[in-house]
């Protein structure tokens, strides 16, 4: 019995079917495959309809770009300001009060002001330092507020034998009046998470959960964490899951390649595109600051690349 190809398969014709009324067409296997492919493409891409229509759109990042001053110590602040404006960076941070007017002349802000004097090792976990630190921050706050900036950095200090539980208690006691005074000036105080494994031996605020516990202990809307991606990759990894879980406690982010704290490109282990997408998905609208140490001779080319990587 003769077979013909019809509607995607071969069927047998009836013996008494008149040839004049048969609508079927004999086709080769090659022609049949072409037909199937054409139908599939047409079905997948209807006329005037985008292939991406109906797919879930990724949220547009609302966060802004900043750069830390210290990795570019070989350049003047003016040179860094010029590069920032050219690249599209809105802030140069970790500045002292005598540097505020320079960045403002270029239309830039300082997304995270330094504590003055700056000490990572002597912090709020040491009760003997509370009075001294409180005085320093009280003197700094009006200068930051007058410049129109909004955030100031702080540190736990080194453990020096202090347990994690006692460190939280000590920090809360020392920080409470500082956080209250910051609120009067419309400022947010941010404690930075640092690694104690490679760069800052014995530093106490070296895990996200410790920082979150301190935030909860203080219970103040204007006390948050500065989540340094480089440092936390070294200490605990699981960056994206941590950001998704604890983002309400995070007011600022720093970048850096791991290992080495250099460029954040494919030469290191972190997928910064995916990390930035995760940050965008939280609705974060603060600043992400480049804090890597450029290895390239043209440091501003590396800086531009870092910002482009973080654009999502």
Mean of pLDDT values over 200-207: 98
CA 47 – CA 43 distance, rounded (Å): 9
Question: Is a pLDDT exceeding 50 seen at residue 33?
Answer: no
Question: Is a pLDDT exceeding 60 seen at residue 192?
Answer: yes
Give 64-310's CATH code, choosing from 3.20.20.150, 3.40.50.2300, 3.40.50.800, 3.40.190.10.
Answer: 3.20.20.150
Name the residue among 117, 109, 141, 93 with its Cα closest to residue 253: 93
pTM strictly above 0.75: yes
- On average, the pLDDT of the chain sits at 87
| pLDDT per residue as tens digits for the range 217-241 | 999 999 999 999 999 999 999 999 9
Question: Is a pLDDT exceeding 50 seen at residue 149?
Answer: yes
Would you state the pLDDT for residue 11? 44
| pLDDT per residue as tens digits for the range 248-293 | 999 999 999 999 999 999 999 999 999 999 999 999 999 999 999 9
Where would I find the H helices in the chain? 29-44, 77-87, 100-105, 130-146, 164-184, 208-218, 229-235, 239-246, 272-281, 299-310
Band (108; pLDDT cuts 50, 70, 90): very high
Instruction: Tell me the domain boundaries of the chain.
Output: 3-44, 64-310
* Bridge partner list, 88: none
| pLDDT per residue as tens digits for the range 70-101 | 999 999 999 999 999 999 999 999 999 999 99
Question: Is a pLDDT exceeding 70 seen at residue 190?
Answer: yes
Band (57; pLDDT cuts 50, 70, 90): low
Q: How many CB atoms lie within 10 A of CB 122?
A: 16
């Amino acid at each position: 019995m003769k077979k013909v190809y019809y509607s995607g398969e071969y069927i047998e014709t009836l013996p008494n079917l008149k040839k004049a009324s048969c609508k079927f067409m004999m086709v080769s296997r090659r022609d049949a495959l072409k037909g199937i492919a054409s139908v599939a493409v047409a079905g997948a891409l209807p006329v005037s309809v985008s292939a991406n229509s109906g797919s879930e759109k990724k949220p547009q990042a609302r966060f802004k770009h900043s750069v830390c001053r210290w990795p570019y110590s070989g350049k003047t602040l003016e040179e860094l300001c010029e590069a920032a404006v050219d690249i599209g960076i809105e802030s140069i941070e970790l500045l002292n009060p005598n540097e505020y007017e320079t960045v403002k002349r270029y239309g830039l802000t300082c997304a995270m002001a330094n504590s003055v004097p700056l000490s990572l090792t002597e912090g709020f976990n040491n009760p003997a330092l509370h009075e001294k630190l409180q005085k320093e921050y009280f003197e700094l706050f009006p200068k930051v507020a007058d410049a129109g900036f909004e955030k100031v950095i702080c540190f736990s200090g080194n453990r020096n034998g202090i347990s994690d539980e006692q460190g939280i208690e000590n920090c809360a006691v020392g920080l409470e009046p500082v956080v209250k005074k910051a609120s009067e000036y419309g400022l947010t105080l941010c404690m930075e998470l640092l690694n104690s494994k490679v760069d800052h031996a014995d530093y106490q605020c070296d895990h996200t959960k410790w920082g979150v516990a301190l935030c909860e202990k203080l219970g103040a809307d204007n006390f948050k964490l500065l989540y340094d991606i480089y440092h936390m990759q070294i200490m605990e990894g699981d960056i994206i899951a941590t950001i998704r879980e604890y983002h309400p406690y995070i007011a600022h982010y720093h970048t850096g390649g791991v290992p080495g704290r250099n460029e954040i490109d494919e030469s290191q282990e972190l997928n910064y595109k995916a990390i930035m997408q995760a940050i965008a998905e939280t609705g974060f609208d603060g600043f992400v600051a480049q804090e890597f140490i450029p290895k390239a001779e043209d440091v501003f080319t590396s800086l531009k690349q870092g910002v482009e990587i973080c654009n999502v």
